[in-house]
Structures are given as C-alpha cells and as structure tokens.
Amino acid sequence: MTVRATTRGAERTSLDGTRADVLICGASFAGLAVARELAATGASVLVVDRYEIGERQTSACACPTPWLHAMGVEDSILQDLPHMTFTTPHGSVKYRLPWSWSAFDYRALCDLLWEQCGEARFETAKVEGRGPRTADGDIVVHTDRGDLHAAVVVDALGWRRVLSDPHYQPPEGPLTRALEVHPADDGAGDALDVWVDRSLARRGYGWRVPANAEVRIGVASYDPEQHVKAQVVDLADRLDREPAGYQGNWVPHRLRPAGEDGVWFVGDSAGHCIPLSAEGIRTAFHFGVAAGRGIRSVLAGGRSADAALREYAAFSASHARSFGFALRVQRLIPALPPRLLTLVLRIIGRQALVDRAFGWYLRIADPSFGERANAERAAVAADLPVAA
C-alpha cells in the first residue's frame, strides 16, 4: 500500500481564491512537460497534484532513450535496453532495435523535469472538478484545499479526466488494466522482454524491464474485466522472482478530445497512450511539449487562448491514424493462432523489417519534436524571436 509523504487534514492550509496565469493539474510526465515549456515566460504557473512530485510511480518507467535526452533527464537512466524479446508458447525471438529503451528512476526523472520549470510553484491538492467561469473569464477548479482560478487550465491528471464530464469508469471504459511487481535483480539483462501468452492474459501481454538493482515484472490486459494479479504472480514465479512492491494503473487505449470548454487535456486524460504497447511516457512528453508551446504563444500575446487550444486539439487529433492502426493491431494479435503469431514475429525479426517497424513506432511521437522545442525554449530564455 502506498504511504503518502504529503500532509493531510488540518496540516494543509487553504488555497481558496488563489489565482495563477496557468494552472496545471497533475505533476507527472505530462504536467511537468507543460510546465517546463513555460519556464522563462514570466507567467505565474501553479502546478498541483495530490502527491508530492515524484512520490507515486504508476508505470514500468521505460522510455525510448532519445526522448530522455531530448527532455534533459538522461541522468535518471538506470539501465539501457537495446533489445526486445517476444515470447509465445511456441518460441522466442530477440530483436536488436534501431534505438534503445531506457529504464529510469521515476523520482529522479520528475525532479530533473521540475528543475527545468523555472519559477513555477507547486502545491499538493486533490483536484475534484471544475466550476463555472468567473466574471473576468477565469476557469475555476475545485480542490480539497479550496477553489483555484486561472486563465489557462491544463488537465494532466490521468485517465480519470477529472475536469471533463462524463468520466471513464472502469471496467466500462476503453481502458487497459495493468499491474506489476518490483523484485530485486542483478540488472544483467539487456532486453525489454514481452510475453504474448493467453495463460497470462487472454487479450494482452506480460513484460519484464531490467532496471539495474530491480526488475519490473507485470501483466496488462486489454480487457478491463480480467483481473491480472494472479497472472503477475505466475510470471514472477516463472522468472524465479518473489513478487514485491505491487503497483498498478488503468491505461487508456483510445484518443479523446484534447481541448474541451477551455481546458487543455494532456497525457492519459486525452488518451495519449499508444494502443497495443500501452506506452504513455514519451507521448506525455510529446503532447506536453505541444501544449506548452501553444500556451506560451498565448502568454506572449500572439494569439487568443481559444485559437491556441483549437490548434493544439487539432495537433492531437492528427495522430488518430497512427493510434487507430495500433488499436487495430491490438485487436488482431489476440485473434491470431499462437503458432501463426510466432511465425509472424520470426518473419518481422529480419533486421530490415525490425528497423522499419520500430522506426515507424518511434515516429508516432518522434524525439526530434522535443529537440526542436528545446531550441524554442532557449530562444525564449534569451529573449530572442521564436520561429513560427
């Protein structure tokens, strides 16, 4: 059970009536990526989360290495993983990727992102919903520490999409159920391992992510009705590891509108999680950067908040084709006979096909997008014009 490091009850002072130019709800990958883009703008930026920054890890914390460098958080890397293995009941294949994964330390990464957020302020508060706009046009956000006001509001609170209505309610929503354990390990592996085995998940997969002194072992089910705790224990047993340090989460596998009634939705709240793989970290960076750039243009006085939000929402929607293809593959793989799936994996294992397939996969949210944004951030910090 997670033990909160944050204060509660009478130890928490009221924030009622606090106003900021930008209010970012959620202080994990997506929210911090947005705040990072607003450094040096001179705007008042308030970030709120029910937990302290870096306190509550909810994912296996593995990301394409180029994105960690693009975000300036490479010092959080625990282990580089240049290979992937795929195992079915009928065999295994090992791919050498055209790029590598990196397992990272969640708290260290969040701290490194926060260090890049300039004068942004952080407060612990549980976001409970939104109210009507004020007379001067501010959006009101209800929290357990009072009402907050801001001209621009970002929902980076995860799959619950708290500042929207209706919310997804598991297990009815298009959500993947995921659970993992973190037993100790020697970190000797060099691959992110995936099991496609119906004894683990009728529709889903298992994984192992070596992370230096520990290994992250888990199971994801595309069918939210299927519980996976017994399957996680089974996979850990197969790998001769004692289950320890349970953590889990729901993962959306369908894009949702990224702009709604003046609110910017980023990360899992907008469905920015790639179907099939349930990967949502680099997409949180990708769309967080995009939202931050749009908000920065509003703060600079170059455009209206409504126009910038429409453009950001259209940018998010432009990824529908890639996300839709991944969702179709997510639905196809469980339908394939296991022997046929094994054959397909072996055929794809030819290096030219691996490079092509995983090159396409990386381009869904390409790290070059983050690298270009870094040049813009540097220009803002130096008070130089930013190219359109």
Residues 6+ apart with CB under 8 A from 232: 179, 180, 181, 206, 217, 218, 219, 243, 246
**3-state DSSP call for residue 248?**
strand
One-character DSSP codes across 323-367: HHHHHHHHHHGGGS-HHHHHHHHHHHTSHHHHHHHHHHHHHTT-H
| Stretch (H or E) spanning 34 | helix 29-37
Domains of the chain: 9-381 (3.50.50.60)
**3-state DSSP call for residue 71?**
coil
Q: Which amino acid is at 77?
A: I
SS3 string, 189-228, reads CCEEEEECCCCCCCCEEEEEEEECCEEEEEEEECCCCCCC
Per-residue pLDDT of the chain (388 residues; tens, 9 = 90+): 344 444 554 457 999 999 999 999 999 999 999 999 999 999 999 999 999 999 988 888 999 999 999 999 999 999 999 999 999 999 999 999 999 999 999 999 999 999 999 999 999 999 999 999 999 999 999 999 999 999 999 999 999 999 998 777 888 889 999 999 999 987 778 999 999 999 999 999 999 999 999 999 999 999 999 999 999 999 999 999 999 989 999 999 999 999 999 999 999 999 999 999 999 999 999 999 999 999 999 999 978 999 999 999 999 999 999 999 999 999 999 999 999 999 999 999 999 999 999 999 999 999 999 998 887 777 766 666 555 4
Token pair 């990958």 in the structure block, residue: 29
Best CA proximity match to 258, nearest among 295, 221, 229: 295
